[in-house]
Amino acid sequence: MFKIKIFIGVLVCCFSATILNAQLISAKAQDKTEEIRNASLKYNHLLNLLDQVYVDSVDVKKLTEKAFINTLEQLDPHSVYMDEKELKDTQELMSGEFSGIGIQFNILRDTLMVVSTVQGGPSEKVGLMAGDRIVKIDTAKVAGIGLKNTDVIKKLRGDKGTKVKVFVQRKNVPEILDFLVIRDDIPLNTIDASYMLDANIGYIKVNRFGQKT
């Protein structure tokens, strides 16, 4: 009888602890939901105030886009907001083809460097080379201005058949070289090499991941 009472007592305590824990989790979830709701209401109130009392007209869409960007910049470097155009560019990149000049680039110490040219692509055809430093695209200077990857993509990509003029500094060449590049469809090969080491082991070198990898 004594053992049964102890067992029932322990069972009641465990059941009570489970209920209490569930209540705490539920309360925390409600607090988080309320916090998000209050933040949303505060932002909506701010936009309404700007629309009603600000001296000039307010571009609500532009302000909201900037708010999203600034919010995600407070997180890790991999959390970013993409507008409609940037999302389209990313989807094209993942799909494995897009229209552009056919280079891989890197921004090193605020300098736009050509890492490689796509074999048979527009840039290779006109003579652009790995190691070239791009200083101007059409009439826009791109050196020493805090350039971002998205800025480069916007300037170099475009519809097939359109032209872009690229000015570069090349090692051991004193003058600035300029190249007129005609944009074309650029296939993105994500596999550099693949072969079988033996009957059971294969080797695949992947340079990036895309939908067709």
As a whole number, the mean pLDDT across the chain is: 80
Q: Which pLDDT score is estimated for 2?
A: 46
Residue with tokens 């560019």: 89
Residue-wise pLDDT tens digits, 170-203: 999 999 999 999 999 887 777 777 788 888 898 8
Q: Which pLDDT score is estimated for 157?
A: 87
Identity of the highest mean pLDDT range in 9-13, 120-124, 194-198: 120-124
Residue-wise pLDDT tens digits, 131-156: 999 999 999 888 887 878 788 888 89
Q: What is the DSSP string of 39-70?
A: HHHHHHHHHHHHHHH-SS---HHHHHHHHHHH
Burial class of residue 20 in the structure, from the number of CB atoms within 10 Å of its CB (0-12 exposed, 13-18 middle, 19+ buried): exposed
Architecture in CATH for domain 99-187: Roll (2.30)
- Could you tell me where in the chain the CATH 2.30.42.10 domains are found? 99-187
Asked whether 138 and 165 are in contact (CB, 8 A), the reply is yes
